[in-house]
């Protein structure tokens, strides 16, 4: 959602998280520069409050009651905006999972994925 570590683009020093006017940002102690926590993440350029973003994710994680209409009503955003955000989140998760190997089973275990047997010979 947002970066947890920052590197100053001006002096390449490590940045720490600080708060200014109710907004969290990275601060550089060496050159006094600052950088948004959203920089480099898929939230870069968005002006939606963190409260709205967290409300959106909370509703999206409520799988049994999750609909774009309920998220729209809960967050106060248009259904079109919610649809765009849902698509963005799904694409982001898909890209992440596509680059992250998933280990099925374990030592001495047989793993199945979609009915396909994965592993060595069964004993």
Could you tell me which residue, 117 or 27, shows the higher pLDDT?
Answer: 27
Same domain, 4 and 43: yes
pTM of structure = 0.52
- Using a 10 angstrom Cβ sphere, with 0-12 exposed, 13-18 middle and 19 or more buried, the burial of residue 71 is buried
Count up the domains in the chain and report the number: 2
Could you tell me which residue, 69 or 3, shows the higher pLDDT?
Answer: 69
Is 80 exceeded by the pLDDT of residue 5? no
**Structure confidence at residue 30 as a pLDDT band (50, 70, 90):** confident
Q: What is the rounded CA–CA span in Å between residue 22 and residue 29?
A: 20
Q: What is the tens place of the pLDDT at every residue in 58-73?
A: 887 776 677 888 888 8
> Domain residues for 42?
1-47
Q: What is the pLDDT of residue 80?
A: 92
Mean pLDDT (the chain) is 76
DSSP at 12: -
Same domain, 40 and 82: no
**Structure confidence at residue 42 as a pLDDT band (50, 70, 90):** low
Look at residue 69 and tell me if it is in a domain: yes
Task: Find tokens 């973003």 and name the residue.
Answer: 53
Is 70 exceeded by the pLDDT of residue 110? no
Look at residue 54 and tell me if it is in a domain: no
């Amino acid at each position: 959602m947002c970066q947890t570590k920052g590197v100053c683009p001006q002096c390449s020093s490590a940045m720490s998280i600080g708060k200014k006017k109710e907004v969290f940002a990275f601060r550089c102690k060496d050159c006094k520069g600052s950088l948004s926590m959203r920089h480099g993440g898929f939230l870069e350029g968005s002006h939606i409050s963190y409260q709205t973003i967290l409300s959106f994710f909370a509703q999206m994680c409520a799988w049994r009651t999750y609909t774009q209409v309920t998220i729209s009503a809960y967050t106060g955003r248009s259904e079109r905006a919610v649809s765009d955000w849902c698509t963005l989140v799904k694409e982001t998760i898909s890209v992440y999972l596509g680059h992250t190997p998933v280990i099925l089973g374990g030592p001495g275990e047989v793993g199945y994925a979609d009915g396909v047997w994965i592993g060595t010979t069964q004993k």
